Amino acid sequence: MDTKTRKLARLQLDTTLKAFRPLKSIPVPGKGWIRAIRDVLGMSGRQLAHRMGTTKQAIDLIEQGEVSDAITFKSMQNAAEGLDCVFVYALVPKISLEETVLDQARQKAIQRLKRVDLTMLLENQSLSVQEKKKALNDAADDLLKVQNRTLWDE
């Protein structure tokens, strides 16, 4: 994917994922979503098992698996269907994807400029603060223009 297409796709995905951001602050119920929803619906484990075509013991394992983060997506989807719900899955970035890429480019640029700055300092040619800021912005912009997989190399 070329740089312009990647940026456009990133901005579009940022827009889509923005709708999920408020969900980050919703805590998972202590007994998990399956048990919480089942309880407030007044549905027993046996009744959910019947709706899912499985056993009460399987429901117990599913609910335990959810709480211990050891449940599969398929089990969550099946339980959701049994509860007349929809299982929703998303990765929600802490900051926008665009900001993530810009931050990474800045960090890479800082690493590169530190090496150059040390060499220039040894040659008694150090840059002013303003020159360093401009060089940092220029280096980050250059990295973004030719953004390839090395942006994420350590």
What percent of the chain shows pLDDT beyond 90? 62
Read off the pLDDT band of 36 (50, 70, 90): very high
Predicted TM-score (pTM) of this structure: 0.77
Contact 146, 109 (CB under 8 A): no
- pLDDT digits 0-9 by tens, 92-127: 999 999 999 999 999 988 888 877 765 655 556 666
Query: Which carries the bigger pLDDT value, residue 140 or residue 58?
Result: 58
| Mutual angle of helices 97-122 and 3-18, in 10-degree steps | 130
> For residue 2, what are its two tokens?
């070329």
Q: Given this model, what pLDDT does residue 117 score?
A: 65
Instruction: Give me the pLDDT at residue 4, please.
Output: 85
Please give the residue that has the higher pLDDT: either 99 or 137. Answer: 99
